[in-house]
Amino acid sequence: MRYELTAAGGLVRRGELRVPPGTGPRHMVARGSRAYVVGELAATLIPVDLATGAVGEPVSTRPPGEAGECYPSAVVLDPQGRYCYVLNRGPNTIATFDITGKPRLVETTPSGGDYPWDAVISDGFLYVANQRSGTLASFSLDALTGMPDPVTTASIRYSICIAPGSVT
């Protein structure tokens, strides 16, 4: 379903987005008129034009030929809107997509733990919560390629959700 928020805090239904059967839409991120939907069951990233409701061609979140279970969880966009990052549970990777045109899988990077569940980008770093290993991994993001580079990993009990903020 597509809804618009009103100034009074209400919701107005604006239509439906239809993704391929078996996709299992899990998470969506949007900026401007573009959105990206993660298909948990199909291990895909699907671009959506929010202005028209057009659903683009799904792109695998795994490299060609990679086998085994893969259940994408979260999707985040870099601040410049050039790259999109999808967490893959199973292979425990971060899939980096170039989204300057049609989404293109650039490469996958180890998530720094077991069962990556959530991610956030803050101040040029990508942070990944890995549920089963109870770790929070941080990655610097290469300004030219968008690729995450591991910085550190911390043990954090119940690492499921990340919310950026500051402590004063």
Span 30-67, pLDDT tens digits: 999 999 999 999 999 999 998 888 999 999 999 999 99
Pair 97, 73: CB distance under 8 Å: no
In a domain, 5, yes or no: no
Residue 13 lies in a domain: no
Query: At 62, which CATH number?
Result: 2.130.10.10
Q: 3-class SS at 39? A: strand
Residue 140: which of 125, 153, 155 has the closest Cα? 125
Other CB atoms within 10 Å distance of the CB of residue 49: 13
Does some domain include residue 50?
A: yes
pLDDT digits (tens, 9 = 90+) for 115-158: 999 999 999 999 999 999 999 999 999 999 999 999 999 998 87
Give the DSSP letter of residue 20. P
Is 67 a domain residue?
A: yes
- Distance in angstroms (rounded) separating the CA atoms of residues 136 and 159: 7
Give the C-alpha distances (Å, rounded to integers) separating 38 from 5, 48, 85: 22, 11, 10
Confirm whether 165 is domain-assigned.
Answer: no
pLDDT for 167 equals 52
Of residues 162 and 106, the one with the higher pLDDT is 106
Q: Domain of 136?
A: 21-155
How sure is the predictor about 163, in pLDDT bands with cuts at 50, 70 and 90? confident
**List of residues 6+ apart from 59 with CB closer than 8 A:** 44, 45, 46, 97, 102, 103, 104, 105
Give a yes or no: residue 10 inside a domain. no
Tell whether 107 is covered by a domain: yes
Q: Does the residue 131 lie in any domain?
A: yes
Tell me what the mean pLDDT of segment 92-113 comes to: 97
Number of domains into which the chain is organized: 1
Residue whose tokens read 């993660």:
38
Whether 33 contacts 51, CB under 8 Å: yes
Both tokens assigned to 166: 């500051």
pLDDT at 72: 98
**Predicted local distance difference test score (pLDDT) of residue 61:** 98
